[in-house]
Amino acid sequence: MKKNSTNNISVCDEKNYKRLYNLHSKTLRSYMYYTCNNISTAEDIVQEAFVKLWENCSSIIFDQALFFLKRVSKNHFYNTKRHDKIILKFRESSSSRKKDTDNETPLFILEEKEFALKVKNTIASLPDKEREVFLLNRIDKLKYKEIADFLGISIKTVEKHISRALKTIRKEIGNV
Amino acid sequence: MKDNEDIFLAKWLNNNINKDDKKSFNESVEGKVYEKIITIADELEIPEVFNAEGLFNKIQQQKLNNKKKKFKLISLNTFYKVAAFILLFTSVFYFWKSNDVVHKSNYGEKLAVTLPDNSKVTLNSKSSITFNNKNWNKERTIYLEGEAFFEVKKGEKFTVKTKEGSIIVLGTSFNINSSNHFLEVKCFTGKVNVLNKNKTNKILTKGLATTFNNDKIENWSFDTQESSWKEGISRFREVPLPKVLLALENQFNFNFKNVEKYKNEKFSGVFSHNKPKKALKTVLEAMDIKYTIKNNNIILLK
pLDDT digits (tens, 9 = 90+) for A96-117: 455 555 566 777 777 788 888 8
The answer to whether residue A159 is domain-embedded is yes
Regarding whether A76 and A52 lie in a shared domain, the answer is yes
Residues 63-82 of B with CB under 8 A from A: 63, 66
pLDDT at A31: 93
Asked whether the beta carbons of residue A163 and residue B40 sit closer than 8 angstroms, the reply is no
Question: Are A101 and A164 contained in the same domain?
Answer: yes
pLDDT of residue A138: 93
Query: For testing the chain B interface, which of A90, A119, A136 should be mutated: the one with the most B CBs within 10 Å?
Result: A119
Q: Is the pLDDT of residue A139 over 70?
A: yes
Query: Which residues from A are below 8 Å from B10, CB to CB?
Result: 144, 158-160, 162-163, 166
- Tell whether A144 is covered by a domain: yes
On whether residue A13 sits in a domain, the answer given is yes
Query: Contact at 8 Å (CB) between B142 and B128?
Result: no
Q: Which residues contact B69 (CB under 8 A, 6 or more apart)?
A: none
Which one of A34, A57, A80 terminates a domain?
A: A80
CATH number at residue A161: 1.10.10.10
Rounded mean pLDDT of A64-88? 79
User: What is the pLDDT at residue A2?
Assistant: 44
A21, A29, A120 ranked by CB distance to B44: nearest? A120
A116 part of a folded domain: yes
Nearest-CA distance from A74 to chain B in Å?
18
Kindly give the pairing relationship between strand B140-151 and strand B158-162: parallel
Chain B hits for A162, CB-CB cut-off 8 Å, are: 7, 9-10, 13
In this prediction, residue A81 has a pLDDT band, given cuts at 50, 70 and 90, of low
Closest residue in A to B55 (Cα) is A47
Closest-CA residue of chain B to A160 = B7
The total domain count for chain A is 2
Average pLDDT over residues A2-26: 80
Q: Which residues of A86-98 are buried (b: 16+ CB within 10 A; e: fewer)?
A: bebeeeeeeeebe
Residues A99 and A65 in one domain: no
Say if A106 falls within a structural domain: yes
Is residue A86 included in any domain, yes or no? no
Contact B41 A138 (CB under 8 A): yes
Q: Are B102 and B144 in contact (CB under 8 A)?
A: no
Q: Which of A25, A88, A167 sits opposite B44 (nearest CB)?
A: A88
Q: What angle do CA B164, B167, B173 make, to 5 degrees?
A: 130
Instruction: Produce one character per residue of B115-133: b if its CB has 16 or more CB atoms within 10 Å, e if not.
Output: beeebebbbbbbbebebbe
Q: Three-class SS of residue A93?
A: coil
pLDDT by residue (tens digit) across A27-62?
999 999 988 888 888 999 999 999 999 988 888 888
* Burial degree of B293 (CB within 10 A; 0-12, 13-18, 19+): exposed
β-partners of residue A90 are: B44
Residue in B12, B49, B59 to test binding to A, most A beta-carbons within 10 Å: B59
CB of B170 within 8 Å of a chain A CB? The answer is no
> What is B105-221's CATH topology?
Jelly Rolls (2.60.120)
Of A20, A61, A25, give the one whose Cα is nearest residue A44.
A25
Contact status of B38 with chain A (Cβ, < 8 Å): yes
| pLDDT given at position A169 | 92
Residue ranges for chain B with pLDDT beneath 50: 1
Q: Check A51 against B56: CB less than 8 A apart.
A: no
Decide if A101 is inside a domain.
Answer: yes
B58 and chain A in contact, CB less than 8 A: yes
To the nearest whole angstrom, how far is the Cα of B72 from the nearest Cα of chain A?
A: 16
Q: Among A159, A160, A164, which would you mutate to test the B interface (most chain B Cβ atoms within 10 Å of its Cβ)?
A: A159
Q: Which residues span the domain enclosing A135?
A: 95-173
Domain boundary among A57, A80, A103: A80
A137, A160 contact by CB (below 8 A): no
Q: Under a CB-based contact definition with an 8 Å cutoff, are residues A29 and A78 in contact? A: no
What is the Cα–Cα distance from A47 to B80, expressed in whole angstroms? 33
Residue A131 lies in a domain: yes
Q: Is there a single domain that holds both residue A39 and residue A100?
A: no
Class of the CATH-defined domain B232-300? alpha beta
CA distance B157 to B178: 20
pLDDT bracket for residue A92 (50, 70, 90): low
User: Residue B230: what pLDDT?
Assistant: 84
Q: Do A139 and B59 touch (CB under 8 A)?
A: no
